[in-house]
Every structure is written in structure tokens, then in C-alpha cells.
Amino acid sequence: MTDLTTLLNEEQFEAATAPDGPLLILAAAGTGKTRTLVYRVVHLIERGIPPEAIMLLTFTNRAAREMLERAEDVTGGATRGLWGGTFHHVANRFLRKFASKLGFRPDFTIFDAEDQRTLMGNCIKGLGFKPSEFLKRELVLSLISGATNRGLEFEDYAESRIEDTEIPLEQVIKVADEYARLKIQNNGMDFDDLLVNALRLLTEHDDARLFYQEHFQHILVDEYQDTNILQSQFIDTLGSPHKNVSVVGDDFQCIYSWRGSNYDNIMSFPDRYPGTLIVKLEQNYRSLPEILKVANASIKQNKKQFEKTLRSTRASLHAKPTVYSVYSDTEQAARVIEIISKAVSAGYSYDDIAVLYRSHFHSSQIDRELTKSNIPFAVTSGIGFYEQAHIKDILALLRITIFPVEKLALMRVLQLLPGVGAVTVERIWGKLGGVFEVEKENHRKNLLAFLPAKARPFWSAVDVALEEFVANNRSIKAVNDLVDKFINLFYIKHLSQQYDNAEERKDDIFELVADIEQHYDLTEYLANITLKTNVDREKDKKDQTSEETPHVLLSTIHQAKGLEWPVVIVVWLTEGMFPSSRALLEDLSCSEERRLFYVAVTRAKDNLHLFVPRVRFMHGGGRMDCIQSRFIKEIPEELVRNVEFSFNSPGFGGGYSPSYYRRF
């Protein structure tokens, strides 16, 4: 038995060892909510609950894995079989088992954002509408997703969102219907469908519901403030017989309401679950008191919040967070490098440092400067590894060897051939009769015959490789061979024609192959790959390369959720950047943006650096003066140290004393 009293404080211990029944931990940042949840898992297992009867829901798959690793260490491996992951991950597992109940094949595809756009483009064209300023695919997709994740009727929601615009509601509705039809026809679901259909499975199919209700005796949810209505209903349904539902969250940190997250879920939890044990944690173990003062002062500006006390357990070092006023993007980048170098000379590792920002493109200048300075770093970019064009090309090739109804994948691969475009490929799919099975010789023959003469020599080479792959039972070991041939026979030409970093992309592809070789089952690999995010991947790489070089992380604040670093640098704190201009239009009070700022600040353990550029160089060469972000203005003067760099201050590098930098 693990002695939890030595690992947790009194309140944490009470929560971790609470008896069966609903439990709510509502507490601000860094108070050990996640840690408490980990030890609740440990406690349940040591109490004799079988691990497969426990479900742990987290915001990223990475978070689940880290938590389970910790629990595994403590329990000596007794967590095997526990279900951990995101809602989408769990929904996917449910749906693979019971797909036929909802009219899907169990090998249904999961469409990523790009697939969704392709499909939506087909809908608009297919209905004879021409994509216009008023009927963009992004728009229709965002209306569909917005309605879905808020549990609203599409027509009502769409109407309310586009009233006072010239967007044609009639057409939007037609297109949305067509999109739904096309997804089913293609045997696929998008991300939202996973949630919708998993919930439908539970509500509409008694046997499936009873099966899972009996299976899961305990449900634990981290980051509960960022769940939406579908997710909370999913949990409520699953947990309704026993109400052994433990949720953890902080309404200050709700930063996904733009996709339907609603912190009313956490606020109304005790009403939905009478008899809830509510535990509040007030001691912050992460940050120095000076950092917490800034965080608390900032979040106080939000009106609709629940008061929470938050005090640091750490001793003050009288090192206030610093606000830097810099001239431009370029100077900002140079000063960030300085801070990183100084932190490293003070004894920190590169791993201890993160640069955080509102939007991906805020990182580009810093990216360049870090490269120039030879400082190791990683960026969590907007497109994930598996979403890159060249990776998706290869995955599409593999998909068509495994799944018979893969229109999108087949279209993608064929369009790589010379002389084959969207129209040809559509016609071929029709002639094939909506199915292509690579192991059937006549299917392959037909495909070759339907291709235009220009493309045929290329494809016949690939065809041979496909045949060999089938002869090798489409085993994991044969993947390398297939991909190698595919690349050398023609794909490499495409790469070098299209991009100037063809070699890099080829390396990526073989990295993908190596990743596939770590798995046993190609079918399963392909079925789940869409759910892998780049945050998950960062962790995969860490696990595999035993000694990865320490590196600075550049990340959006959204992707930094739940993480912590000794040194945190936040850049581009100007009106229009953070808060973002679009947020300014939508919500003048910027409450969600402020919560995002709160999240950024509370990632820091020892040092917090806030950057405010004074000018911004625009696209065409124009210059715009920046206004300091309201989030900086709102911080009382005495809580921060101000450093102003004038444009011509004696060389980048001098000008202020670094003596406040100490290793703690």
C-alpha cells in the first residue's frame, strides 16, 4: 500500500481517497489537481478495483500517458488495462466495436481537417454552387462544428451566426446535409462525429450502454472545465448507474469555449450529481509568490468567475516578473535569445525554458533567431506530423492497400500522377464501382486501364509493388519495401519538383515507416493515426530516443495546457495580437483571452518574462504602432519590473544588469 499522506497534502489526500460517489475538485492553477487524480487512480487500484474498470479522460493522449506512467511507477505496473486517453480516443474505441449498430463498417475512416475541407469542397461543387465569398467551405464546416459541439440544431445555430450577412442560409443548409450524406457514403466520421456517434451509441442502443456501464466502475476526468455538452452527457450516461465520477478542473482555465467547451459543466456538476464531495485546493506548489500575484491580479478582472484563494507554498525570492518593452519583432527575438542564454548560464537546462504565444505565426521570428544562434529548440506547429502533405500521401497509399472503400485516399494517390486531376479521378472511382480492393487482380487491372495513357507507365510500376505487398501478406515488415519502391519509382520526382526540401520530407517518410514498424497491426495503426496529435508525438520521440538533446520549446498557450517550466517567456503582448484582433471583435471584455493569459502566466515556476513590442512591420512594408496589451496594463505597477529597450540602446546585449537571474 502506498502511503499517500507523504505525497499529498490534507485536502489532496481527502480527494484521492474519497469513497465511491461523485467527486469534484475545483481549484486554481498549480494546486496539484492532476497529481491528486493520479493518486486517486493509485488508490482505486490498491483498493482492488480492476484497472480495466477505470476510465481516465484527459485533454490530450499525452497527458493520459504521463499520468498513467506515474501511476504505473507507484503501483508497480498494476495499471495495465486501464482505459486512458481523450474523449475522441475512447469514443473511437467504442465505435470500432459497435460500428455496425450505427450503420458503419468497423473499419470506418476518421477524417482530419484537410479531409473535411476536401469533402466539403466536393459538396459545394457537387450541388452546383460555386464557392464564393459567401459560401466558403471553412465557413460551413465551422457552422456545422459549432452547432454540433454546442448540442444545437444546425439550422437555428447557422441562422443566428449568419444573420445580418449576405451568406445564403438555404444553400448553407443544403451543403451541410450533403456533407453529412457524403461522410456516411465514404464510411467515415470527422472528429465531431466521434463524439456524437459515441453518445448516440450509448443513448440509442441499450445493450451497448449496459455493456459499458457495467464495464466501467470509475470514471475520472481531468481538465473538466474544457468539456462540451456532448462530452459531459457522455460521462453522465456512462456513470449514471453508480455515479462514481471524479472530475477535476478550474473555471479560470477554460480556454476552448470557441469550440463549445462550457464551464457551466463544472459549475453545475454538484446539481447534476447530488451528494457530490467538493474539495477545494488552495496551495500552489508550482510558482513563486510573485508570479501568482500577477496571475491573481489579472484573473480578477473577469466578472463571471468563482472566487478561489491561491497562495504559494514557495518562499519569495523577491524576483518580480519582468515586462520588457522592445522596439520590434526582431528586437524581441534577440532579447528572447539573450534571456535564454542567461538562464542557461545560470544553470537551467534548455528543457526548462518555454516561449509561449497566442498564435502560431508569432513564433516565426524567434524560430529564425534560435536557428541562427544554434540553440536547440522544438516548435509545436499548427500542422501535426501526420497532417503534412507527404506523410498523408504515404498514409493514403497504405490505406488503399488495407481498406476497400477509401475514395479519398485513392483520389489523393492517383492525383499525384501526371495528367490526372480531380475530374479524372472522380470518373475512375465511378467506373470502379465505388470499391477498390488491392488484392483483387481485376480491380488493379481495371484501375490501370482507366488511367490516362500519360499516367499509366508510372502506375504500372507502383502496381507491381502493390502486388508484392499483397504477396507478403501486407505485413508490417513489408511496408518499408512498398514505400521504398513507391518513392523511388516516382514519388521522389514529385517531391523534388514540388518542394525544395525533398530530402527532409523523404526522411520524414522513413521516420513514419520506422514508427509503423513499432506496431503489430497495420490496420489498427491506420485506424487510429488521425487521432495522434503533435503533442503526443513530442512524447513518443522522448520515449524512444533515450537521450534527446535538451531543447527550448516554442508553443501556443493552448498546447501548453497542463505543463510547467521554470522559465516562461510570453511574447507579442499587444492589442490585436494577444488579445487577438478577432477575439476583440467578438467579445469586448476578452474574458477567454484573459483566461488564456492566466494559463500562460501560471505555467511559470521561477521566472516569467513578458514581451511588448512597440511597432509591428506589416506585410507590404508598412509600419504600425502597437498598443500594449490590456493584460499588461491591468497588472498593478508594483507587481512587475519594467525594462525598456530603446531602439538604439547600446548594442543588443547591454543595457541592463542580469544580476536578478539566479538558479533556485
Distances (CA, A) of 397 to 10, 148, 373: 55, 32, 39
Window of 81-89, 435-443, 542-550, 656-664 that interacts with DNA by CB under 7 A: 81-89
N-term to C-term CA, the chain? 34
User: How far apart are CB 29 and ligand ATP at their closest, in Å?
Assistant: 4
Q: According to the binding rule CB under 7 A, does residue 382 interact with DNA?
A: yes
Taking the complex as a whole, how short is the minimal distance between the CB of residue 555 and ligand ATP, in angstroms? 15
39 alpha-carbon distance from chain centroid: 25
Q: Tell which residue, 145, 166, 171, 168, has the closest CA to residue 157.
A: 145
Catalytic residue among 66, 192, 223, 515: 223
**Residue span 532-551 as binding mask against ligand ATP, x where in contact by CB under 6 A, dash where not:** --------------------
8-state DSSP, 491:
I
CA distance 175 to 231: 26
Tell me, yes or no, if 401 is annotated catalytic: no
C-alpha cell at 437: 480492393
Rounded to whole angstroms, the Cα distance separating 533 from 515 reads 14
> From the list 22, 30, 146, 613, which residue makes contact with ligand ATP (rule: CB under 6 A)?
30
Stretch that binds DNA, among 175-183, 237-245, 412-420, 541-549 (CB under 7 A): 412-420
Q: What mask of x and - would describe binding to ligand ATP in positions 214 to 253, judged by CB under 6 A?
A: ------------------------------------x--x
**541 touches DNA (CB under 7 A):** no
Q: SS3 letters for 4-68?
A: HHHCCCHHHHHHHCCCCCCEEEEECCCCCHHHHHHHHHHHHHHCCCCHHHEEEECCCHHHHHHHH
Contact status: 616 vs DNA (CB under 7 A): no
Q: Taking the complex as a whole, how short is the minimal distance between the CB of residue 259 and DNA, in angstroms?
A: 5
Query: Considering only residues 114, 481, 508, 548, which one is a binding residue for DNA as defined by CB under 7 A?
Result: 114
- Given 31, 217, 253, 322, which residue is catalytic? 253
Q: Site map for ligand ATP, 286-325, x if CB under 6 A?
A: x---------------------------------------
Q: Across the chain, which distance is largest between two alpha carbons, in Å?
A: 78
Footprint of DNA on 448-477 (CB under 7 A): none
Is 400 near ligand ATP (CB under 6 A)? no
- Residue 419 touches DNA, criterion: CB under 7 A: yes
CA distance 574 to 357: 11
Do 33 and 284 touch, CB atoms closer than 8 A? no
Cα–Cα–Cα angle for 635, 636, 637, rounded to 5 degrees: 110
Residue from the set 582, 633, 662, 663 that interacts with DNA by CB under 7 A: 582
Residue 551: name the closest of 366, 352, 380 by CA: 352
222 is catalytic: yes
Q: Which does 388 bind (CB under 5 to 8 A by kind): ligand ATP, DNA, none?
A: DNA
Separation between Cα atoms, residue 391 and residue 377, nearest integer Å: 22
Q: Is 32 left (phi over 0), alpha (psi -120 to 50) or beta?
A: left
Query: Site for DNA (CB under 7 A): which residue of 79, 197, 580, 591?
Result: 580
The yes or no reply on residue 12 touching ligand ATP (CB under 6 A) is yes
Distance CA 382, CA 379 (A): 9
- The whole-angstrom separation of Cα 355 and Cα 342 is 15
Residues that bind ligand ATP (CB under 6 A): 8-9, 12, 29-35, 250, 253, 285-286, 562, 564, 602
Active site residues: 33-34, 222-223, 253, 603
Residues that bind DNA (CB under 7 A): 59-60, 86-89, 113-114, 117, 131-132, 136-138, 191-192, 255-256, 258-259, 358-361, 380, 382-384, 388-389, 415, 418-425, 427, 499, 531, 533-535, 556, 558-559, 580-583, 586, 619
